[in-house]
Amino acid sequence: MKKIQIWDHVILLAGVFFMVTPVVLTLMTSTHDAITVYKEGVQFLPGGKFLENYETVLFQAGGFTKEVDGFVMLKNSMILGFGFAIGKIIISMLAAYAIVYFRFPMASLCFWVIFATLLLPLEVRILPSYEIVQSLGMVNTYSGLIVPLIASATGTFFFRQFFMSVPEELLEAARIDGAGPWKFFKDILVPLSQTMIAAIFIIMFVYGWNQYLWPTLITTDESLFTLVRGIKQILQVWVGAQIPAFNEAMALAILAIVPPVLIVVVFQSWFVKGLVESDK
Amino acid sequence: MATITLDTVRKVYAGNVEAVKGVSIDIADGEFIVLVGPSGCGKSTLLRMVAGLEDITTGEVKIGDRMVNNVDPADRDIAMVFQNYALYPHMTVYNNLAYGLKNRGMAKDEIDRRVKEAARILEIGEYLDRKPRALSGGQRQRVAMGRAIVREPAAFLFDEPLSNLDAKLRVQMRVEIKRLQQSLGTTSVYVTHDQLEAMTLADRLVVLNGGNIEQIGAPIDVYDKPASTFVASFIGSPAMNLLNVKTNGSGLALEAGEGLSGANTMGRDSYIVGIRPEHLEVVDSPPSDDGIALEVNVDVLEPVGAESYVYASFPNGGQEIVIRVSSHAHHEPGEKMYLKAAAENVHFFDADTGRRVD
């Protein structure tokens, strides 16, 4: 028994080590100057350039056009993350509502067609998607960045499963109470789905935040760059031709990690609370 | 308040399953009607058709003078209490009660007055700010009834409202529902599979079986004069003893074996004879007067407190019968027992159709 416990801990610690070490190294390296990093490689101990480096990446305009700073990229990532997550939640809730509560011809076929799109990730349909967005003149706009991505088979599936678990009597009670389809959705289903919304928000925010391929294609204007893209951009041109600014790239990477972590931490406690308290 | 009229109402589900086969009932204003029957008899479907939650295949449902077949549930002026309460879990008790009133655009102070009034009647005033999950089963049931009361509807519809409560609470709430209905005087339709609930609550009982009405009547009439063997065995606990009987000349005898004798008063060849457990009297020697005489062997004695039940069988096996005896009577398994039933307490049913023969 004891022996097993020790092994359990060893395995857990190893897991923690592999998960946390890269983040710690990134954080440590981001507090040194570029020359140290270039000469000595990744740093294990904190250096003295924390404030300077973070100030540089946040507020000093860089990039090819010298127009965009880290703060703008952070803002762009936020817009993408929130727009992506909220858009997906709205669209998939409405789709699931239609599928579960309205008897229209071939409803289940519709559901399975939506579900089958899971088999076609963005990468597969990227050319036609780009063609459509481009022909609608949405290249280099926030809506071009967000709207083509918000249809979500995963979200629709989760909400469908959840709605199907809501007791039929609740709908009937609401009907007798004079709630029409829209009122039932707004007054009953949405409040009941809070935990589900929180869960999907977490997943989708992080997913949207980490988007790389689509933003790369659709935004050529640097003022629309997201953080995740900015990291790569920094290494190419941030400080000119001499030494690659690894320290600043690391600082930007840390900045890119913080918001999703915050979202997960904040929503997770809310999510768990909702799970414990709610009974349908 | 209103009358409810059902005129040859049928419900056929997809796949040609006929759940309700042409049911007609006239419910008087202020009457408490209980639909009772085993599961699958169509009682809930019937109630849901009155509520408007189920489409009516053919026939007519009228509330008051208005034909409501195609009227939305919210506009039928009814309120429904569900088995699992169907309270909105994210709303406080107050908002649960007020939601339906808000939806019909009632003024805030009128809503407040009605909610407070219902809370007072049901003694749930102190829970108004709580959410349903913080309430016990009995309290939730009260809230569910409160939601019906605040509507001040023409009719209450109850769909097995007490099934989720424990036995003690069920008896308590049963009395309370009856008291409430009497004081409000609102026409009520109540669905249950529990014959005791049905007997105690109903002004009139509607016994349903397989989508058909077996009998409509005041509980005591249904009990005293069951219209069929189905009603006879469904109403009353323990159930009525039903024995297959044939005639031999002027007398009666069990179809299989010995142990029963009596005069053939009906002039047919075979019957089903029904005798309630409480109408069988234990006597010392084989009785000779009118009615039916039985001779049985005791199998099991089942004391329930106020009384005891003897399960006994006829000498050469066959059907088992139940006899109610006083709680202090002593009967040993294997003991021989002579029983008699007065002629007025013996029910005759047609052997083929199961309908009552008088």
Please give the structure tokens belonging to residue A77. Answer: 């990532």
| Averaged pLDDT for residues B334-338 | 89
Interface of A with B in 156-195 (CB under 8 A): 167, 169-170, 172-179, 183, 187-188, 191-192, 194
Listed in sequence order, the DSSP H helices in A117-243 are: 126-135, 142-146, 153-165, 168-176, 181-183, 190-192, 194-209, 213-218, 227-237
What is the pLDDT, as a whole number, of residue A66? 66
Q: Do B74 and A191 touch (CB under 8 A)?
A: no
Please give the structure tokens belonging to residue B164. Answer: 């989720």
Cβ-based neighbours of A246, under 8 Å, separated by 6 or more:
A29, A34, A37, A38, A235
Q: Average pLDDT of chain A?
A: 85
Four-residue CA torsion sign, B326, B332, B334, B336 = negative
pLDDT at B286 over 60: yes
Please give the structure tokens belonging to residue B236. Answer: 């009353």
Among candidates B176, B74, B183, B91, which has minimal Cα distance to B135? B91
If one compares A279 and B26, the residue with the highest pLDDT of the two is B26
| Averaged pLDDT for residues A86-101 | 93
Computed on alpha carbons and rounded to an integer, the radius of gyration of chain A in Å comes to 23
Identify all chain B residues contacting A172, using CB atoms and an 8 Å cutoff. 51, 53, 73, 80, 82, 86
Inter-residue contact B296 to B314 (CB < 8 Å): yes
What is the pLDDT, as a whole number, of residue A280? 42
What is the pLDDT, as a whole number, of residue B40? 87
Identify all chain A residues contacting B53, using CB atoms and an 8 Å cutoff. 172, 175-176
CA dihedral B212, B215, B219, B220 (to 10 degrees): -160
Please give the structure tokens belonging to residue A4. Answer: 């097993």
pLDDT at A59 over 60: yes
What is the pLDDT, as a whole number, of residue A62? 66
Nearest chain B residue to A276 by CA: give it.
B133
What is the pLDDT, as a whole number, of residue B252? 81
pLDDT tens for each residue of A96-140: 999 899 888 888 888 888 888 888 888 888 888 899 999 999 889
Pairing of strands B307-314, B317-326: antiparallel
Among candidates A274, A246, A279, A262, which has minimal Cα distance to A42? A246
Task: Please report where in the chains the tokens 């027992």 appear, as a residue.
Answer: B337
Inter-residue contact B73 to B28 (CB < 8 Å): no
In this complex, which of A167, A170, A175 lies closest to B73 when CB atoms are compared? A175
**What distance in Å separates the CA atoms of residue A274 and residue B295, rounded to the nearest whole number?**
67
Q: Identity (one letter) of the amino acid at B298?
A: V
Q: CA separation (Å) from A14 to A9, B134, B163, B252? A: 8, 44, 54, 89
Q: Distance of alpha carbon B336 from its chain centroid, rounded?
A: 36
Inter-residue contact B305 to B270 (CB < 8 Å): no
| Averaged pLDDT for residues A233-251 | 69
Please give the structure tokens belonging to residue B246. Answer: 């044939």
Q: Do A177 and B80 touch (CB under 8 A)?
A: no
Among candidates B194, B240, B265, which has minimal Cα distance to B354? B240
According to DSSP, residue B240 is labeled P
Total Cβ atoms within 10 A of residue A151: 15
Q: Identity (one letter) of the amino acid at B300?
A: V
Q: Do B89 and A278 touch (CB under 8 A)?
A: yes
Interface of A with B in 1-40 (CB under 8 A): none
If one compares B33 and B290, the residue with the highest pLDDT of the two is B33
Strand (E) or helix (H) holding B168: helix B167-184
pLDDT tens for each residue of B294-315: 888 999 999 988 999 999 988 8
**What distance in Å separates the CA atoms of residue A157 and residue A93, rounded to the nearest whole number?**
9
What is the pLDDT, as a whole number, of residue B207? 95
Q: Identity (one letter) of the amino acid at B21?
A: K
**What distance in Å separates the CA atoms of residue B223 and residue B227, rounded to the nearest whole number?**
9
**What distance in Å separates the CA atoms of residue B155 and residue B1, rounded to the nearest whole number?**
6
pLDDT at B349 over 70: yes
Residue of A165, A177, A273 to mutate when probing chain B, most B C-beta within 10 A: A177
Q: Do A179 and B99 touch (CB under 8 A)?
A: yes
Listed in sequence order, the DSSP H helices in A102-139 are: 107-116, 126-135
Is some CB atom of chain B closer than 8 A to the CB atom of A279? yes
Q: Do B82 and A277 touch (CB under 8 A)?
A: no
**What distance in Å separates the CA atoms of residue B305 and residue B327, rounded to the nearest whole number?**
6
What is the pLDDT, as a whole number, of residue A64? 60
Show the domains of chain A with their CATH numbers.
2-276 (1.10.3720.10)
Inter-residue contact B207 to B200 (CB < 8 Å): no
Q: Is A274 left (phi over 0), alpha (psi -120 to 50) or beta?
A: alpha
pLDDT at A274 over 60: no
pLDDT at A275 over 70: no
**What distance in Å separates the CA atoms of residue A148 and residue A150, rounded to the nearest whole number?**
6
Inter-residue contact B42 to B210 (CB < 8 Å): yes
**What distance in Å separates the CA atoms of residue A157 and residue A196, rounded to the nearest whole number?**
12
What is the pLDDT, as a whole number, of residue A199? 84
Distance from the Cα of A169 to chain B's closest Cα (Å) equals: 6
Inter-residue contact A93 to A190 (CB < 8 Å): yes
pLDDT at B225 over 50: yes
**What distance in Å separates the CA atoms of residue B357 and residue B348, rounded to the nearest whole number?**
5
| Averaged pLDDT for residues B27-44 | 93
Please compute, for residue B86, the number of CA atoms within 13 A of its CA located in the half-sphere on the CB side: 24
Whether the complex's predicted ipTM is more than 0.90 is answered with: no
Question: What order do you get walking across the sheet with B187-192 strand by strand?
Answer: B78-81, B155-159, B187-192, B32-36, B204-209, B212-217
Among candidates B73, B78, B75, B81, which has minimal Cα distance to B4? B78
Q: Average pLDDT of chain B?
A: 90
Listed in sequence order, the DSSP H helices in B192-246 are: 195-201, 219-224, 229-234
Nearest chain B residue to A177 by CA: give it.
B100
Distance from the Cα of B77 to chain A's closest Cα (Å) equals: 9
Lowest average pLDDT, out of A61-70, A250-259, B42-51, B173-182, goes to A61-70
If one compares A233 and B32, the residue with the highest pLDDT of the two is B32
If one compares A276 and A80, the residue with the highest pLDDT of the two is A80
Q: Identity (one letter) of the amino acid at A262?
A: L
pLDDT at B220 over 90: yes
Task: Please report where in the chains the tokens 């009227």 appear, as a residue.
Answer: B71
pLDDT at B93 over 50: yes
| Averaged pLDDT for residues A57-85 | 82
pLDDT tens for each residue of B113-167: 999 999 999 999 999 999 999 999 889 999 999 999 999 999 999 999 998 888 8
Lowest average pLDDT, out of A14-23, A58-67, A69-78, B266-275, goes to A58-67
pLDDT tens for each residue of A188-234: 999 998 888 888 888 899 999 998 889 888 888 888 888 888 887 76
